[in-house]
Structure 1
Amino acid sequence: MFPETIETDRLRLERLTRDRVDPRDLYAVASDRSPTVDEETEYLPWSPLATLRDAEERIAEFERRWDERERAEWVIRPREGEDGAGEFAGTAGLICRWDRDLVSPAVWLRKPFWGRRYSGERADALLAVAFDRLDVGVAAVPIHGENDRSYRAVERYVERHGGRYEGLLRNHAGRYDEPADHHRFSVSRAEWRAADGARTAVRVTDDGD
């Protein structure tokens, strides 16, 4: 159902599995061993990894949810010609709520790769997968109420694809066991198709090649 790899002009997204990502590499960038991880995850719904075992379990969980068609998760790597080509730049995900005809794109981008508009390019690719391949009706993007950086980035690509800002949902989610407000943006399949000029070239494959 989900493509193993997705390529855009500057990025390659590869299915996040133990075959492609060593748990030790994930632990190095997603734990307190990384000096920027607290800043990167400040508004995300997960905490930095505490142990190598946590990294192993997180990858195994991604594999399980992929197989059960609940969530697809890819590692983001800049393509050749980009600064840091081939490095672990972060992760991209699609959380599927089939009973609602809805997906939620997700992203974690490491700080050395901020400021390049990779998040928007990743979003362009995931919307293409959601609407062209999965034929989902709506993509909804929640953002922590205090995450101004992500708000601006999401606002740009949602507007580009014909979507809308739906408002602030108060105490909609939790962060470290505390209630948190969420901004919500959305794009429908019809809106995305009407904004044809905003589409970018995306190449997907199912075998990792």
Structure 2
Amino acid sequence: MSLFPTEMESERLRYERVHPEEFDAYELYEYVQAGAPHTDELTEYMTWDPHAHPKESFDWVEQAGEKFDDGEAANYLVRPTEGERAGELAGTAGLFADWDRRRAIFGTWFRKPFWGRGYSGERAARMLELAFDRLDLELVAVSHVPENENSQRAIEKYVDRFGGRKEGRLRNTVVIDDEPRDVIQYSISREEWERNRD
């Protein structure tokens, strides 16, 4: 039995683990390759670039599978379960466990056709449940670069919903396009989540 669930569901979304045993990396490559529709907008504020070759997608899937098996992190493919795009790869949801500090760090991205549908908040609610109920962690942290207004709005909405708070600006925390960048970090504690969970 795995520490992390291999699949999960929420109201409108299905989560499938990223693992080479179950996922064809060519499907990922189709959407994140250089020149794919909206890839430049997707990766503008990310710490990774559009994939230049399928091997990059295969390597990422392989690494995600190893981290899943080792209990370090869980990355999930996110697919809508309803509507005209049901079953399509909408994005990914990641939970990176920092066991010594008893916290999880969230990471996510959605393809542009799936922006503005409330999926980020729905995904966050499901991942908070995973972090606190199953993994027995005490804190969840999430961040965005200051210029990423879409992520800022989505994060602030669910952090407020679950009683969390803005921790502040952390300088030179990530590297994007070979340049160190600041991030704005937020956190939600187990106690805050338990007081505000649906």
Normalised by the length of structure 1, the TM-score is 0.91
Aligned position for 2:46: 44
Counterpart of 1:134, as a letter, is: L
Code of the aligned partner of 2:20: R
2:129 matched residue in structure 1: 128
SS in 2 for 1:182: strand
- SS at 2:51 equivalent: coil
Q: Give the alignment partner of residue 30 of structure 1, picking from 29, 32, 55.
A: 32
Q: 1:65 aligns with which of 41, 64, 67?
A: 67
Q: Distance between the aligned counterparts of 1:23 and 1:184, measured in 2?
A: 31
| Structure-1 residue corresponding to 2:191 | 190
Gaps of at least 5 residues in structure 2 are none
CA distance in 1, matches of 2:35, 2:25: 14
Query: Structure 2: how far apart are the matches of 1:150 and 1:137?
Result: 23
Unaligned runs of 5+ in 1: 200-209
Distance of 1:78 and 1:172 partners within structure 2: 32
| Paired amino acid for 1:58 | W
The 5 A counterparts of 1:101-112 are: 101-112=102-113
Separation in 1 of the partners of 2:21 and 2:86? Answer: 19
Picking from 1, 18, 21, the partner of 2:20 is: 18
Q: Distance in 1 between matches of 2:161 and 2:83?
A: 24
Q: Hey, which bits of structure 1, 4+ residues long, moved more than 3 A?
A: none
1:49-83 residue CA offsets vs partner (Å, 9 max, x unmatched):
1111111111000000111111100000000x323
Query: Cα distance, 1:36 vs. partner?
Result: 0.6
Q: What is the aligned residue count?
A: 196
TM-superposition CA deviations, 1:79-119 (whole Å, max 9, x none): 0x323000011111101111111111111100111110101
In the alignment, what sits opposite 2:84?
Answer: 83
Deviation of the 1:34 alpha carbon? 1.1
1:98 maps to 2:99? yes
SS of residue matched to 2:26:
helix
- Which residue of structure 1 lines up, in the alignment, with residue 173 of structure 2? 172
For residue 171 of structure 1, report the CA deviation from its aligned partner.
Answer: 1.7
**Superposition TM-score, scaled by structure 2 size:** 0.95
Q: Distance in 2 between matches of 1:158 and 1:137?
A: 15
Measure the CA separation in 1 of the matches of 2:96 and 2:189: 16
Give the aligned partner of residue 74 of structure 1: 76
Structure with the greater relative contact order (CA < 8 A, sep ≥ 6): 1 or 2?
A: 1
> C-alpha distance in 1, partners of 2:22/2:44?
26
**Backbone CA RMSD of aligned residues:** 1.1
